[in-house]
Amino acid sequence: MKKSSFQESINHLRAYLQINTAHPHPDYSSAISLLTNFASSVPNLKAQTLHFTPNKTKPLLLLTLPGSNSSLTSILLNSHIDSVPAETSKWSHPPFSAHYAPDGKIFARGAQDDKCIGIQYLEAIKNLATNQEHGFKPVRTVHVSFVPDEEVGGFDGMAKFVESNEFKELNVGFVLDEGQASPVEEYRVFYADRSPWHVVIKAVGEPGHGARMYDNSALENLMKSVEMISKFRESQFDMVKAGLAANSEVISVNPVYLKAGIASTEGFVMNMQPSEAEAGFDVRMPPTADPELVRRKISQEWAPAWRNMSYQITEKGPLRDYMGKPLLTHPDESNPWWSVLKQAIEAAGEKLNAKAEILGSTTDARFMRQMGIPAFGFSPMKNTPILLHDHDEFLVDTVFMEGIKVYESIIKSLSSYIGA
């Protein structure tokens, strides 16, 4: 067996990208079949398909490369199979064609988020396993997981996996998950995610003729809340614009819908004031935020009961680990895994951004961090525009291949580390 050539590696990526795993109907079975076939070409890499839903329509692929010392905790490399939908009419090329342009760009949904890293994991392990000169013999066991449903919250994927006996038996000590592209020469590492809250605020009031002026009407009360929320949003955004914090380090609040009025065949009844009004907000909480303070702000300022208002908070993920500590992995020398990761990237001839970041969105890494397992987000895509969930998502072939080399160094270093 030999290493994959440049073109073979690109073909593996394109074949994976050509499988439509977008919601609402991701083709998980075809993806699992392709990945299992690829894994079978790597010596000693064992594969098993796990199911955590009753109808078995959301499979999880787990690959395992046994280490020589089973008493040490294992390494887990995670990626997700699914992707968000794509508006085909807005793309230059069909989003699941994996169009390979003459300048090296591969256009496809999932090219950055995050089918690329799944194939890079496998290519790196295969290259290490076929290196006759050095001979790759991991001390720690290395697991590679391909999980479903990350893009819809991960609740039928990683969330159920980490609670399973199968996961407990892995004895995971460190996790690498997805990160984000870097528009500059330095790679980015993420030590935490922001956790989403979906907040719905409702107001009620007396209905009446549109010509009358009322105190505390439903819409009046709701607009007062919208004004307060807008001022809070502005205060957070001001810190970003002043350079005092990154976007992902503040609490973001974005309105996503407003609902009020009495519907008619021509739109809305314009001479009647509604008795109910409602607004929805996407709130993103960094792990450094105090959730209780935010809850109090919502109940006392944004939706106080004395103003005939109510609210509902749907927390889409945890903010604290099982010990009640902020959900983050320390990116400093107090964490030996940080040192190993940083040195491995540098050993591959690459550079890291001077400051590790909080990811503005949410990944499956939060489920491992909740269990106290250190996890970093990392996707080796430098000099690349951030296009996840965007039209014309692409990855350049040479950037993809550079990432494989970086993962070779990372996997070799992590799996041979015996200090933690």
Nearest to 415 by CA among 135, 117, 73, 129: 73
Asked if residue 1 has pLDDT above 70, the reply is no
Average pLDDT of the chain is 94
Nearest to 411 by CA among 149, 176, 132, 98: 176
Q: What is the mean pLDDT of residues 138-149?
A: 98
Q: What is the pLDDT of residue 419?
A: 84
Residue bearing the bigger pLDDT, 308 or 135: 308
Nearest to 275 by CA among 227, 208, 214: 208
Query: How far apart (Å, rounded) are the C-alpha atoms in residues 83 and 85?
Result: 7
pLDDT tens per residue, range 168-222? 999 999 999 999 999 999 999 999 999 999 999 999 988 877 777 777 889 999 9
In angstroms, the Cα distances linking 199 to 86, 153, 253, 283, 311 are 26, 16, 9, 7, 7
* Annotation says 177 is catalytic: no
Q: What is the pLDDT of residue 253?
A: 96
Q: Do the annotations mark residue 113 as ligand-binding?
A: yes
Q: Do the annotations mark residue 134 as ligand-binding?
A: no
Q: What is the pLDDT of residue 3?
A: 67
* Annotation says 169 is catalytic: no
Supply 258's token pair.
């407003």
Sequence-distant (6+) residues with CB within 8 A of 340 are 413, 414, 417
Helices and strands in the chain, H and E counts: 10, 19
pLDDT range class, residue 134, cuts 50, 70, 90: low
Percent of the chain exceeding pLDDT 90 equals 86
- The DSSP line for 153-206 is TSTTTHHHHHTSHHHHHH-EEEEEE-----SSSSB--EEEEPEEEEEEEEEE--
Supply 125's token pair.
């392990």
- The DSSP line for 248-290 is GGS-EEEEEEEEES-EETTEE-TTEE-SEEEEEEEEEE-TTS-
Query: How far apart (Å, rounded) are the C-alpha atoms in residues 102 and 62?
Result: 35
Q: What is the mean pLDDT of residues 228-238?
A: 97
Q: What is the mean pLDDT of residues 308-324?
A: 91
Whole-prediction pTM value? 0.90
Q: What is the pLDDT of residue 354?
A: 86
pLDDT tens per residue, range 252-279? 999 999 999 888 888 888 888 889 999 9
CB-based contact 297:290 (threshold 8 Å): no
Q: What is the pLDDT of residue 271?
A: 86
Q: Do the annotations mark residue 364 as ligand-binding?
A: no
Asked if residue 137 has pLDDT above 80, the reply is yes
Q: What is the mean pLDDT of residues 98-120?
A: 98
pLDDT range class, residue 136, cuts 50, 70, 90: confident
Domains and CATH numbers, the chain: 6-189+331-416 (3.40.630.10), 195-315 (3.30.70.360)
Q: What is the pLDDT of residue 420?
A: 72
Catalytic residue among 82, 114, 193, 397: 82
Nearest 5°: the CA angle 109, 98, 41 is 100
Highest average pLDDT, of 62-66, 206-210, 352-356, comes from 62-66
Q: What is the pLDDT of residue 380?
A: 98
Query: Which residue shows structure tokens 């078995």?
Result: 56
* Preceding amide of 304 cis, omega within 30: no
Nearest to 385 by CA among 235, 219, 182, 237: 182
How many residues can be counted in the chain? 420
Q: Do the annotations mark residue 178 as ligand-binding?
A: yes
Asked if residue 285 has pLDDT above 90, the reply is yes
Instruction: For 259-292, give one letter per residue: b (16+ CB within 10 A) or e.
Output: ebbeeeeeeeeeeebbbbbbbbbebbbbbbbebe
Q: What is the mean pLDDT of residues 355-369?
A: 94
Q: Residue 301 burial (CB < 10 Å; 0-12/13-18/19+)? A: middle
For residue 44, how many other CB atoms are within 10 A of its CB? Answer: 12
Catalytic residue among 114, 123, 149, 150: 150
Q: What is the mean pLDDT of residues 377-381?
A: 98
Q: Do the annotations mark residue 156 as ligand-binding?
A: no
Nearest to 414 by CA among 83, 239, 220, 175: 175
Q: What is the mean pLDDT of residues 40-45?
A: 93
Q: What is the mean pLDDT of residues 310-337?
A: 92
Q: What is the mean pLDDT of residues 310-321?
A: 90
- The DSSP line for 354-406 is SS-EEESS--THHHHHHTT--EEE-----S----TTSTT-EEEHHHHHHHHHH
Query: How far apart (Å, rounded) are the C-alpha atoms in residues 122 and 15?
Result: 14
